[in-house]
Structure formats: C-alpha cells, structure tokens
C-alpha cells in the first residue's frame, strides 16, 4: 500500500460524527475522499467554505469552488460560504473540533514546523499558526522520514516553528504518537513494522505505551 494512503486511512479514524474539521494543505486534504458514507462531518477551509465534499469528477469541476490549497472541491448539502475574516473567527473562536495538518518536523515536546523551509519561496504561512492555537485538537500527519531517510520526528525542530507544544497526536506510516505534559508516547504501531524499526527511524526520545510493551 502507498505510504500516503496508509497515513490517510489511519488519520480518518480521528474524525467523528458531528465534528467541524479543518484539513490542512497537502496530505490532509486527501481525507475528504475517505469520510465514511453517512457520517455527518463539516469540513472547513480557511478561504471561506464550510462543508467541503470529496474531490470532484471531471464533470463536477467548478473553477470557482476551491479549498485553501487552490484545489477544486465539491460542497456537501448544507455547505455555506463566507469571507476569510469570518473563517478565521471560527478558528480563533475555538469552534473547530479537529485540525489535521501536514508537518515537515515534529519535536518530542509536540512542537510543529510546517510552514516554510528557509531559502525556499513561501507563498504565505496560511492558517496553520491560527489552527494550532484555535482548534480543540491538533493531529499532524506526515511521512516518518524525509527523502534522504532522515527522521522528521526530532528531538528539537530545526525549521521555523508553527507552534510550540501544540501537537496532540502525530500519525505516520509507521506509528501513532501522543503528546502529554511535554512527553511523547508511542501508542500504536503499524502492523508492517516493529518497535525496533520505529526507534531506529525516530530521532526523538519517546516512551512506549504499556499496551505495546509486550512487543518490545
């Protein structure tokens, strides 16, 4: 199975019926296609749409209907449209139950870096800095290592921070980590890996949840 698909299929389990959810640009936006049929979820986008549906078929494409990543989307029954000021009022006012964001680096203390790489062109910081402070729960989804095989789960982030101590849960293709009181805990592992492999590919220090200790 594709690494990104593994991450998305695990991440969609974080979404519960009745939630208002913001999906970050990139990998998180793929979750819109995985929302279970019949689940009542309203996906919110910073550019002013509440009620994003799956990606459109060729016949459904409306060039005026886009998400924050400038991708064409569909809208579900009951969707609403508004300006970005209203959208950020929803976020800053604590009305978003769950934000699922992409990450470049996550530290063992739950710090997140996901908005820029120094020296690279930046179109804007987007809404991530507001989301990590305004959403009730922040879940980060990313590949465990970068294209050079280096861990993206760090002792300390080396890239500019989006927020300090803001990540509640991290999901990669290998593992699920929770962050509480500055401590990072391995709470799930992929059936396709071992705890030893996770340790080898994780720069950060973490503890193993008691439910997994039998597998150490």
CB 213 within 8 Å of CB 201: no
Task: Tell me the C-alpha to C-alpha distance, in Å, between residue 196 and each of 7, 108, 202.
Answer: 20, 18, 10
CATH number of the domain encompassing residue 91: 3.40.1080.10
Which residues are marked as active site? Answer: 46
Number of domains in the chain: 1
- Above 90 in pLDDT, residue 150? yes
- Above 70 in pLDDT, residue 8? yes
What is the C-alpha R_g of the chain?
17
Q: Is the pTM of this model over 0.75?
A: yes
Say how many CA atoms lie within 13 Å of 27 toward its Cβ. Answer: 25
Domain coverage including residue 37: 3-215
pLDDT in tens, 73-84: 999 999 999 999
Q: Is the dihedral of CA 4, 84, 135, 33 positive or negative?
A: negative
């Amino acid at each position: 199975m594709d690494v990104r698909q593994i991450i998305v299929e695990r991440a969609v389990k974080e979404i519960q019926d009745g939630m208002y959810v913001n999906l970050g640009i990139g990998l998180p936006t793929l979750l819109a296609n995985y929302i279970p049929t019949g689940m009542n979820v309203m996906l919110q986008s910073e550019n002013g749409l509440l009620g994003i549906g799956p990606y459109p078929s060729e016949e459904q494409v409306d060039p005026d209907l886009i998400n924050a990543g400038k991708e064409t989307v569909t809208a579900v029954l009951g969707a609403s449209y508004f300006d970005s000021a209203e959208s950020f009022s929803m976020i800053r006012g604590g009305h978003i139950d769950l934000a699922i964001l992409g990450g470049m680096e996550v530290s063992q203390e739950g710090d997140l870096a996901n908005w820029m790489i120094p020296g690279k062109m930046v179109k804007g910081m987007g809404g991530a800095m507001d989301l990590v402070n305004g959403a009730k729960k922040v879940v980060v989804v990313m590949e465990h290592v970068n294209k050079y095989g280096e861990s993206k789960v760090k002792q300390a982030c080396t890239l500019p921070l989006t927020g300090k101590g803001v990540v509640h849960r991290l999901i990669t293709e290998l593992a699920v980590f929770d962050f509480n009181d500055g401590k990072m805990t391995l709470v799930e592992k992929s059936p396709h890996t071992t705890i030893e492999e996770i340790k080898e590919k994780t720069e950060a220090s973490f503890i193993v949840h008691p439910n997994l200790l039998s597998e150490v």
